[in-house]
Amino acid sequence: MIDSTDIDINEADWRLRVFDALSFPTLILKPDRTILAANKKFYERNRARAAKIIGRTCEDILSEDRTVKHMSCSGANCPLQRVLESKENQSVVHKKIADDGEIIWEERVFAPILGDCGEVKYVIESLRDITKVKHLEKKYSDVRQLIDKVVQSSVSAIMASDRKGEIILMNKAAEELFGYSVSDANLVNIEDFYPPGVAREIMKKLRDENIGEVGKLPSTQVNIITKKGEQIPVEMTSAIIYEDGQEAASAAIFNDLREKQAVQKKLEETENQLFQSEKLASLGRLAAGVAHEINNPLTSILLYGNLMKEKLEEEHPLANNLNYVLEDAERCKEIVKNLLAYSRQTQPAKDVFYLNNLVGESLRLIRDQKLFMNVKIIKELDDCQILVNADKNQLCQVLINLIINAIDAMEGRGTLTLKTYRDRKEVKAYIAVTDTGSGIPLENLSKVFDPFFTTKEIGKGTGLGLSMAYGILEENHGKISIEHTGPEGTTILLELPEEPVSNEFQFMSIG
């Protein structure tokens, strides 16, 4: 099939046979661009005979091809020209649209055939259909773009670093979580994203065959460090990325645990409160029943005892004994009164008042007592007047109990701090009572709000103070909690909903 006049066929016979056997359509061009020879595949491709091909330029033939929409090899782009200048291979890609509309990509590769003096004597041009490669390239780039979109739009923070720990990928969620932008993340190392030693520990676990599959770390809880230096608890999974069996990078996915932990804490608190109020409610009913039963005989004891006292001469040998009976009966009456108050189901008599006034009034009620002699009292009252809507008498009773508890814990010597403050965002008002006493031992923490739990000697405490306080705060839509306790002292916190300031209060003088 080779038509060659310029080449000595005999001498080049086997070479020409090889040329004809090539699986790509191939031409041999002269430096003036005219076609010297074409192989069998080329004729098949162009459905042409030698007469229509030989002696013409490749540009001519290309321009006849209806499917070629854009000639990327014309003018200065002529690869043949570039081969002549560089004496090196050159290539060009043509995009063609077939009659059925399908896009065909064709690469034309030009290679020099050098003469004895190193000059380019001929140029061999071979045409390769690279449509399949192009389709694969497109598919690959589409998949890459899709992966990029998935990574970027993920709500989980995703980050990858190379073997040296330099950040190579950070999605938007990671930028938000860590507070770095991709550009400043390049300046720091992966180790800076964790507390000291944690990044190395993670890598060690990733390589440990006893922890999951090698190269994969199952879900783990760690703390990360943000750009501002804040530590955030996260749940993370991590993996090593291998290339040809070698570690090339590592990637990790992080989920912020702050919200989940806050919800969990709230749930636990609510469960505890529910348990406590159920316990108090049933104990309250029991206490009310017992108190009622005891109240009637007690009234008789006091009534008849006092009648006897009136009749008995003061010097009578039994007068003293009767006095003891009456004193203890009075004490019982006081306990029964407390019990009934504790189990009382009445609605609180609510009123709007300033929180600071409550502190002042409660202190005034017990100030004269001897027990304050060696106690330093510090009042840290909020400058902004905080209003609450609650039963002031009930809360006064609560505060007095807290103050007496604090003094008892300090054994009459130490510092008592009463602090009022507010949380504007949460619309809550607080009173914190802090002492420098001995603290509540861990084993008593869950019991101090139980009725009748006391560590005080008989006759000094009934153990009803904190349980009544719990009920009163609940009735007033507030909370009582042990904010802190330890050998250096205890802080009990009262929380109440803050009342918005009405006009009436804006102009009222503060009493």
Ligand X SMILES: Nc1ncnc2c1ncn2[C@@H]1O[C@H](COP(=O)(O)OP(=O)(O)OP(=O)(O)O)[C@@H](O)[C@H]1O
Q: Return residues touching ligand X (CB under 6 A).
A: 401, 405-406, 409, 435, 437, 439-440, 448, 453-456, 461-467, 490
Smallest gap, in angstroms, from Cβ of residue 364 to ligand X? 20
Judged by CB under 5 A, the residue of 250, 401, 434, 476 near Mg ion is: 401
Cβ nearer to ligand X, comparing 394 with 467:
467
Query: Which tokens is 481 given?
Result: 């909690």
Closer CB to ligand X, residue 92 or residue 448? 448
Tell me whether residue 35 or residue 440 sits nearer to ligand X (CB atom): 440
Which ranges constitute the DSSP H helices of 120-241?
131-153, 172-178, 182-185, 198-207
Angstrom distance (rounded) from CA 359 to CA 370: 19
CA nearest to 106, candidates 120, 122, 127, 75: 127
Of the candidates 491, 493, 503, which has an alpha carbon nearest to the alpha carbon of residue 470?
Answer: 493
Site string for Mg ion, 461-480 (x = CB under 5 A): ----x---------------
CA angle 392, 397, 398 (to 5 degrees): 95
CB of 120 or CB of 403, closer to Mg ion: 403
Binding mask 48-87 for Mg ion (x = CB under 5 A): ----------------------------------------
Listing DSSP states for 278-319 in one string gives HHHHHHHHHHHHHHHHHHHHHHHHHHHHHHHHHHS-TT-TTH
Say which entry of ligand X, Mg ion, none residue 284 contacts (CB below 5 to 8 A, set by partner kind).
none
Biggest CA-to-CA distance, the chain: 160
Grouping H, G, I as helix, E, B as strand and the rest as coil, residue 217 is: strand
Nearer to ligand X, 20 or 483 (CB): 483
464: partner contacted, choices ligand X, Mg ion, none (Cβ within 5-8 A by kind) = ligand X
CB of 274 to ligand X, least distance (A): 20
Q: From ligand X, Mg ion, none, which one binds at residue 406 (CB under 5 to 8 Å depending on kind)? A: ligand X
Rounded least distance, CB 427 to ligand X, Å: 28
- Residue 29 to residue 110: CA distance in whole angstroms: 10
The entry of ligand X, Mg ion, none near residue 432 (CB within 5 to 8 angstroms by kind) is none
The least distance separating ligand X from the CB of residue 402, rounded to whole angstroms, comes to 7
Nearer to ligand X, 102 or 334 (CB): 334
Q: Got the DSSP string for 39-73?
A: -HHHHHHHT--HHHHTTSBHHHHHHH-TTB---TT
CB count within 10 Å of CB 263 equals 10
Instruction: Say which entry of Mg ion, ligand X, none residue 202 contacts (CB below 5 to 8 A, set by partner kind).
Output: none
Among residues 35 and 494, whose Cβ is nearest to Mg ion? 494
The item of Mg ion, ligand X, none sharing an interface with residue 331, based on CB under 5 to 8 Å by kind, is none
464-477 burial: b if 16+ Cβ within 10 Å, else e: bbbbbbbbbbbbbe
What is the chain's alpha carbon radius of gyration, rounded to the nearest angstrom?
47
Q: Give the closest residue to 281 by CA, choosing from 467, 51, 93, 498.
A: 467
Using the rule CB under 5 A, give the single segment among 231-239, 345-353, 363-371, 400-408 that binds Mg ion.
400-408
C-beta atoms surrounding 72 within 10 Å: 12
From Mg ion, ligand X, none, which one binds at residue 473 (CB under 5 to 8 Å depending on kind)? none
**φ, ψ (nearest 5 deg) of residue 121:** -95, -45
Cα 168 from chain centre: 22
What is the smallest separation between the CB atom of 370 and ligand X, expressed in angstroms? Answer: 17
67 binds, among ligand X, Mg ion, none (CB under 5 to 8 A by kind): none
**How near is the Cβ of 450 to ligand X at its closest, in Å?**
8
**Least distance (Å) between residue 418 CB and ligand X:** 13
**Shorter beta-carbon distance to ligand X: residue 252 or 466:** 466
Task: Please state the closest distance from residue 281 (CB atom) to ligand X, in A.
Answer: 17
Among ligand X, Mg ion, none, the one that 453 touches (CB under a kind-dependent 5 to 8 A) is ligand X
Query: What is the C-alpha to C-alpha distance for residues 410 and 479, in angstroms, rounded to an integer?
Result: 24
Residue 391 partner contact from Mg ion, ligand X, none using kind-dependent CB cut-offs of 5 to 8 Å: none
- The CB-of-461 to Mg ion minimum distance in angstroms stands at 6
- Decide if residue 405 touches Mg ion (CB under 5 A): yes
- What values do phi and psi take at 210, rounded to 5? -85, -10
Q: Least distance from C-beta 456 to ligand X, angstroms?
A: 4
Q: Using CB distances below 5 to 8 A depending on partner kind, what does residue 456 bind out of ligand X, Mg ion, none? A: ligand X
Helix (H, G, I), strand (E, B) or coil at 488: coil
DSSP state of 194: S
How many other β-carbons are positioned within 10 Å of the β-carbon of residue 224?
Answer: 22
Beta bridge partners of 416: 377
CB of 458 to Mg ion, least distance (A): 14
CB of 392 to ligand X, least distance (A): 20
Residue nearer to Mg ion on the CB measure, 79 or 465: 465
**Pick 38 or 406: Cβ nearer ligand X:** 406
Which residue from 180, 158, 156, 154 is spatially nearest to 169, judged by alpha carbons?
158
What's the rounded Cα separation, in Å, for the pair 175 and 183?
10
* Residue ranges binding Mg ion (CB under 5 A): 401, 405, 465
